[in-house]
A and B are shown apart, each in its own frame.
Chain A
Amino acid sequence: MQDIIAILRDYGLLLAIGQFPEGPIGGLALTLILALSGLLLSFPLSVLIGVGRISPNPAVARLAAAFVSVVRALPLLMLIFWAYFIVPLIIGQTVSGLTTVIVALVVYETAYLAEVVRAAILALPKGQVEASRSLGLSYVQTMKDIILPQALFNAIPSILNQFISLVKNTSVAYIISVDELTYAAYQVNAQLLTKPVEVYVILAATYFIICFSLNRLVKLVERRIHTSRQAPIAAEAAA
């Protein structure tokens, strides 16, 4: 226990924010930045792919399904290697490990989030699309104004769950030496040499605290959404 406190005292700041502000930001802060940017960037893409999955146009639906299946079939690590190779080819210059990891995380996350979006749309009663179309709204209007606002609201718990899995997945950035939390802890362990138990207890505990609290938050949000979605129906039934 004393050793853990000593390590936290000597290396706590390094694990929390890396070399910042003297150098690049790292550690836990970078882990959270990676996860957040991964979620924000993959969200619009996943809505497109998720809607594409159930598009009435079979070519679009098949293309979207193929994207989701192939990405889900590959380990994240393989996607990181591909991004390392393909991104420089596309933009014509070498890119940092950080960019590589963000690209890979976004592609990976888009496939999983798209399935969340698709499931949320399919969970809505079919009558909604039919009602909206018969009122004269176009397919795009129906999606944008009727279906997606409800589906995405209902999907908030699943989206938060995806965020938790993103936080955990950022640890894979370690493989290409991006200085997030896992890599930072590995570095600290390499410097100390004799305290692997303490270092990895700190590392595991940090992830645990973050993911466990997020999980609790998801449960809370889930209950809230459930009651708020039930309320209008109950009011209707009462009236």
Chain B
Amino acid sequence: MTLDFAAILTPQYTQWMLSGAMTSLALFASAWVLAFLTASLLVAIGSAPFRPAQFTVATFVEYHRNIPMLVQIFVWYFAMPQLLPDAWTTWINAHNSEFIFALIALFLNSAAYMSEDMRSGLRSLPREQMEAGRALGLSYLQTMRDVLLPQAIRAALPPLINQSLALFKATSLAMAIGVAEMTYASRQVENETYRTFETFAIASAFYVTLSFAIMALGAWVDRRNQKAAGH
């Protein structure tokens, strides 16, 4: 087997791969931000002393944890358009529906996992903090947002970084509904050139580089936490 990277690095194929990489990154970045915000919201709602709110959040989390990511993408792509108002569906179809539905499925799934990580982080804080916050005249939401959540997020950082890695890898599943991200692009180039090894090597290098960066961040946070615990 002779390697011939030049065969797949023509302007056309390079363009496909680059645009695939950009789509993967865009999907990851936007899903991450939305997931993080949603997770914070879920934690705030779930820790309110109100049973139905807790139950709703728990149901949301269990749904997303017990169904494969790919199936969640399919539910959004194939089933949800039937249930959403027509005007929404029309709008989404006019704006790259594959990307939008993959994004929604990815960020909701990640939000469920992240909220669980944050909740455990929150549980590691002493109860008195909430009481102190309330006693100082802050509202429930203010205490949550300004006192408890920042600390909880710090405590939950290691699992959150792991979840970010899972989210990054999960973006590859978007190819199943035709989002032209990295995995999709590499398969397309492979189909045209039959240069399987070279194409998958480039795609894998992309995933490994970013995943390693995320893992390195995780290792750095772990070291810092250990040092902080040592003092």
Contacts and interface: CB of A to CB of B under 8 A. Distances in A.
B71 A73 contact: no
Contacts of A72: 165, 211, 215
Interface in B143-188: 165, 169-173, 175-176, 183, 186-187
B69 interface: yes
Nearest to A85: B196
A171 B68 CA distance: 7
A75 B207 contact: yes
Contacts of B165: 72
A78 B172 contact: yes
Interface in B91-113: none
Nearest to B201: A82
B16 to A, nearest CB: 16
A21 to B, nearest CB: 27
Contacts of B66: 207-208, 211-212, 215
A185 B62 CA distance: 22
A201 B68 contact: no
Interface residues of A, number: 34
Interface string B191-230: 0000011001001100110011001000000000000000
B175 to A, nearest CB: 7
A71 B75 CA distance: 28
Main secondary structure of the interface of A (DSSP, over half): helix
A214 B169 CA distance: 24
B70 interface: yes
A142 B68 CA distance: 39
A77 B175 contact: yes
A200 B75 contact: yes
A158 interface: no
A203 interface: yes
B87 interface: no
A189 B78 contact: yes
Interface of B: 62-63, 65-72, 74-75, 78-79, 82-83, 165, 169-173, 175-176, 183, 186-187, 190, 196-197, 200, 203-204, 207-208, 211-212, 215
23 contacts: A69-B212, A69-B215, A73-B207, A73-B211, A73-B215, A74-B169, A74-B204, A74-B211, A76-B172, A77-B173, A171-B70, A182-B68, A197-B79, A200-B71, A200-B79, A201-B79, A203-B71, A204-B71, A204-B75, A207-B71, A208-B62, A212-B66, A215-B65
Given A72-B211, A168-B68, A182-B68, 12 more contacts: A72-B165, A73-B207, A73-B212, A73-B215, A74-B204, A186-B74, A197-B82, A204-B67, A204-B71, A208-B66, A211-B65, A212-B62
